[in-house]
Structures are given as C-alpha cells and as structure tokens.
Amino acid sequence: MRDDVLDEQRELVALLEERDWDVTEAEVSVYESPWEDDDAPEATLTLTARKPFGDHGGGDEGDDGEDDDNPFRVK
C-alpha cells in the first residue's frame, strides 16, 4: 500500500472525528486506471461513520416517545 494514500485516508478520518463522527469502517483501493495514459495510480476511499443527532431523533413527541406510531422505531 502506498504511504501517501494511507496518509490521505488518515487525514480524512481525522477530519470526520473532529466533527464528532465515529468512523466505524474504512476501505481503500489503489489501482491503475485503464482509461488514463499515465502510470499514476488512482485510489478509491470508502468511509463509514455514525453520529447521533439530538434526543431520540429530534421529534416533537416529547421525551417518552409514547405518541410516536412509527413501526420501525424501537421502544
């Protein structure tokens, strides 16, 4: 793996973590593009991150969530 690609990945992860995101997965692929004539490799970076927002999704139902009829919400 190229060190410069890994440095870029670390920088992007650090930026997300500074914004209070929790990076849960990082995947990087380095390859030579078949469409480009130069020999410089390209990289694809996929980051998965999570961040909770507000109290229970920020709805108007109050703290107990009793008025929420969303069938997908865990009570």
Residue 64 lies in a domain: no
Which among 30, 28, 33, 31 is positioned nearest to 9, based on CA atoms? 28
Report the C-alpha gap between 42 and 74 in whole angstroms: 42
Read off the pLDDT of residues 9-26 as tens digits, 9 standing for 90 and up: 999 999 999 999 999 999
Residue 31 lies in a domain: yes
Into how many domains does the chain fold? 1
Range of the domain at 7: 3-43
Tell me the residue type at 64.
D
pLDDT of the residue at 46: 95
* pTM of the complete model: 0.62
